[in-house]
Amino acid sequence: MTNDQKKQLETQLWNIADSLRGKMNADEFRDYCLGFIFYKYLSERLYLYANEILSEDKLDFLAIDENSETGKEYLAAIKEECIAQLGYFLNPSELFSSLAKRALGNKGNGEEINDSEIEHSTFILDDLTQVLANIERSTMGEASEDDFDRLFEDLDLTSTKLGRTPRAKNTLIAKILVHLDKIDFRLEDSNSDVLGDAYEYLIGQFASGAGKKAGEFYTPQQVSEVLAKIVTTGKDRLKSVYDPTCGSGSLLLRVAKEVDEVAHYYGQEMNRTTYNLARMNMILHGVHYRNFDLKQEDTLESPQHPGKRFEAVVANPPFSAQWSASKLFESDDRFSQYGKLAPKSKADFAFVQHMLHHLDDNGTMAVVLPHGVLFRGAAEGDIRRYLIKDRNWLDAVIGLPANVFYGTSIPTCILVFKKRRQFAGDILFIDASAHFEKAKNQNYLRPQDIYKIVTTYRERLIEDKYSYRADLAEIAENDFNLNIPRYVDTFEEEKAIDLQVVSIALEKTQEILEIADTEINKFCRELEIPTPKGCNINLLQAYKKGVMQKIFSQQIRFKQDDGKPFPDWQKKKLGEVANFHKGKGISKDNLVDSGKLKCIRYAELYTSYNEVINHVLSSTNLDSHDLILSIENDVIIPSSGETSLEIAKAACVKISGVALGGDLNILRTKINGCFLAHYLNYYKKNEIARIAQGNTVVHLYNSHLKTINIEIPVNKEQEKIANFLTSIDKKIDAVSLQIEKIEEFKNGLLQKMFV
C-alpha cells in the first residue's frame, strides 16, 4: 500500500467516524468507532487465514454450511488452527461482512446504499451483541484468554447515547457497519502496520477533539518519536519495552518502529477503556498475543510486573497526579533506597522510581514530566540528589515547548536515565522550548526539531543557546536544581534600533495614511456618508463593518460616472458565476524558507490573511507541474476546519502563479474577487456555515458552495465597492504599522537613555 493509499484509508475512516457520530462527544463515539474497526479487522484477518487453510480443498470460508455435518467438521478443524495461530475464532455467519449484509436485507452488496435506506435495515443489535461475546468466548481456556477478556465491554449497544429507541440505535450501528464494510483494508497485500497506523491516526483525531480528556490515553506522535528514538539509540532490536502508564499503547508501538524487532511488549494502564484500546492497538499492529503482556491496574499502588527488568522503559505519566504515599511504601523495593517518598499531591517522582526499579542494567529510560520535577524542593529535592549524587543515573534533561500535549499548556521536559552511563562525568541539558511550529490550538515539533533533539542527545553536542554538558560538580553547586535556564543561557541581546530608519518608516506610513484618507473621503462623498476620522483601529474596523452592512443590503449605492444609478443587482447561484477547483496537498514539511514557489495552505487563511492577499508568506520547492496554481482574482475558501463559522472564510488572491494547497476550495470567476470575498465573508457567512458538514472536523464542499444564492452588481459597481473597502483596509493596516513603529521608536530611545 502506497503512502497516498494509506492517507486515503485514514481519511475514509475519519470521515465515517466524524459524519456518523452526531452530537456524541468525541471520546464517547471513539469507543464505538474504534471497536467496530477492530471487529472488522479480526473478521478479515480470520477470513484470510481460514482460506489459506482451505486452499488445498479449493473452498471459501464463507461458502461453508455451518449446519451440515461436513461444514461442522471443517469449522472444528479451522477453529483449532485459528485459536492456536490467531488466538480467537469466528464462524462465517459472524464475520463483519456477513453482519453488514444482514443489515441491508435484500439489497445487493454491490449496489449503492444511501443512509435513508439503512434507516429501514434489519434489526441486528442482538446478533451483534452475541457475535462480540462469541469472540471473547472462543478464547476461554486458551493462552489468548487474558488478551481478549472483556475486550468489547465498552461497546455498550444498549446505551441511549446511540439513540433513544432500539430502532434508532440499530440504525446508527447499521450505518457504521455498512459504511465500514465498503472500505477494503487490503490485509492480504499490505503489512499489518498500515491499518494499525490508520487506527492510531483515528486515536489522534479523537484526542484532538477530546480536549483535556485526551491526555488520559494519548501521547502526541512527535513526542512519542523523540522518546522512542532516545531509548533505541545504538540498538537494532530490543528484548523488551515497558510503559507503566501505557494509555492506548501508542508509545510502546512507536518504539518498535525504531528497531528491527521488539521481542516482548509490557504495559500497565489504570483506565479500563484505555486498556482495551491498547490491547486492540497491539493486535491491529500485528503483535502476536503471546508477545505482549498488558495489565489493567493502578501502577503505583498495584504493580503487575514484579521482578521483571526491561531493556527500554518509556512513559508519559499523568502530570503531578495524586497517590496514597502510604507509609507501607517505605519498605517497598521500588522506593525504599531513596529514603523519601514522592509527595502525596505530586506522584511524578514515584513514577520515576517505579520505572527505574524495572529498568535493566543495560537499558535506557525516557519519561515525560512537568518542569516542576527539575527544581521543587523537600522530598523531591532529596530524590534528585540521590539519583545524581549517589546513583549517577540521570543522563539528560530535555526541555520541550509549551502546549505540545492535549489538555494542558504547561511546559514539559524529558528525563533520560541509564544505570550504566557512557558519559558518567556530566549531564546533558537541551533547551528545545523555542523549536516548534505554532498552530491554532497546539504547538507541534517539526521533523527538523525532532532530528535536532535526537542528534544532540546521541552525539552529546554543545550548542550555544541550545545545549550544554554540566559536570556533576556544577550541578552539586546548584544544590541539584536542574532548572534548564541555569545551564542553557537562551537570553538574546536586544538588537540596536536605528532611530533614523524608524523615523523614515513613520514618514512613509503617514504618507500612506494620507493617500488612504483621500481615497476614502472621495467614496464617502459619493455615498453621502460620514468619513472615518482618527486612528483608532477598533473604531475603523467597526466603521468598515457598518459600511458593508449598508452596501451589501443595498441601503446605499454607488452611481455611474455620469451620476446615473447603476442597474439593479442580479440574483444568481454562486455556481453560475464561478468555476470550482480543488487545491492540491502541500504539507507543513514541504514549506521552506526562500523556496522557488510561493504557496498558500488552508490553515494560513485563519491565521495570516484577510479578505485580500497581495503578499504571500510561505514558499516551497515542490514542482509547480504537480500543483494547482492561482490565477489573479481567484477566491479561495477552506474545505475543512474546526467549526462551521471558522470555515466560512473567503480570500481573494491578487497574484498569479501561487501554489494553492489541499483543503482549499478555489472559485475562478470573472466577478471582482475582492468584492466577492468581502461579500461572502460578511453577507453570506452564516449561510455558508449552515452548509458545512461534520463535527470534530467540519467540511465544506464545492458542490454545496455552488448552491449559495448571491446578488451581484455590474462590474463597474463591484470595482467601486472593492476599491472603497480596500482603501479602508489600507488605512487600518497603516495605523497598525504606525503603532508598531512608534513602539519601536520608543524602545530605541530607551536603549540610548540607558546605555
Region of 480 please: left (phi>0), alpha (psi -120 to 50) or beta. left
Q: Which residue has the cell 535556564?
A: 485
pLDDT at 520: 94
- The DSSP output letter for 60 is -
The domains located in the chain, with CATH, are 3-190 (1.20.1260.30), 201-486 (3.40.50.150), 495-558+714-755 (no CATH), 570-712 (3.90.220.20)
369: β partners: 413
- Reported residue count of the chain is 755
pLDDT, tens digit (0-9, with 9 covering 90-100), for 26-71: 666 777 888 888 999 999 999 999 999 999 889 999 999 999 999 9
Quick one: 646 exposed, middle or buried, by C-beta within 10 A (0-12, 13-18, 19+)?
Answer: middle
Q: Cell numbers 456555515 correspond to what residue?
A: 689
- Strands 634-638 and 359-370 come out as unpaired
Burial of 627 (0-12, 13-18, 19+ CB in 10 A): buried
- How far apart CA 89 and CA 244 sit, in angstroms, is 30
Is the Cα torsion angle 78, 81, 83, 87 positive or negative in sign? negative
Block means of pLDDT (10 residues each) for the chain, length 755 residues?
Answer: 62 68 65 86 94 93 95 96 95 93 63 55 83 95 93 87 84 83 71 64 66 55 95 97 94 95 97 91 91 97 96 95 94 95 96 98 97 95 97 97 81 96 96 86 88 98 96 96 93 78 90 92 93 90 93 94 93 94 85 90 87 93 92 93 82 96 91 95 89 76 91 95 94 92 88 75
| pLDDT for 486 | 94
- Measure the CA–CA gap between 466 and 444, rounded to whole angstroms: 18
- Pairing of β 426-431 and β 394-399: parallel
Task: Give me the sign of the Cα torsion angle 717, 718, 719, 722.
Answer: positive
Q: How far apart are CA 341 and CA 335, in angstroms?
A: 7
- What are the beta bridge partners of residue 640? 699
Q: What tens digit of pLDDT does each residue of 8-18 get?
A: 676 777 766 66
3-state secondary structure of 273: helix
Mind listing the pLDDT tens digit for each residue in 586-634?
A: 887 788 888 999 999 988 888 889 899 999 999 999 999 889 999 999 9
Q: How far is Cα 71 from Cα 67, in angstroms, rounded to an integer?
A: 7
Rounded to 5 degrees, φ, ψ at 412 are -130, 170
